[in-house]
Amino acid sequence: MIKKIGTIGLIFLLGLILFYFIGKEEVPSSLKISKIRGKMHLQGIELLAGNSGKLKWKLKAKQADYVGKEIILKNIVFEYMLDKHIFVYSDEGKIIDNNSLILLYPRVKIKMSDVILFCDKFIYDKNKKKIFMNDNFEMKKDNYFKVISNKALFDIKSNSFYILKNVKSIWWLENENNM
């Protein structure tokens, strides 16, 4: 009887330990460039980040080349998952300086439900907690409006969005055929 209780207790204890460590396991939030040596070429990469078993973002690229202190990406799809899913699409990009700067180009598309943003250069500065959308910025919401400018800025700390430099907006009526 004592051996049965001891065996069951041991199995229970091992289960608890496994549950604790698996449950606490966190996916690394960034790739450490400083730990990579030499040149490297990868096909079809996928980076994931999250904690407590909940995925926060996912980055896929058809190709990644590590050169110097940069990772050069091709055909990028970045998915950010919180309350809303945000998708960022880009033909090319770079992860620079130990992940503190991410640069995407040309003609980047950002999709958030019914709002779509475009820009020629997308810069995420991790240290400043800002996203810069430069050159030919455009924001569309279904068939309701379009805003065009040279620059836009999203300040992550204050959760503020700014449209800057030569701003022009275009609004459509619900049914243009009634005009």
- Say if residues 147 and 138 touch (Cβ distance below 8 Å): yes
Please report the DSSP string for 91-123 in residue order: EEEEEETTTTEEEEESSEEEEETTEEEEESEEE
CA–CA separation, 165 and 160 (whole Å): 17
Going residue by residue through the chain (179 aa), what tens digit of pLDDT does each one get? 433 334 443 344 333 333 333 343 343 444 554 555 556 777 888 877 777 778 888 888 998 888 877 889 999 998 888 677 889 999 999 988 676 788 999 989 999 888 899 999 999 888 888 999 999 999 998 878 899 999 999 988 888 889 988 899 888 766 555 44
pTM score, whole prediction: 0.69
- Say if residues 109 and 138 touch (Cβ distance below 8 Å): no
What secondary structure letter does DSSP report for 141? E
Burial (CB < 10 A; 0-12, 13-18, 19+), residue 45, is middle
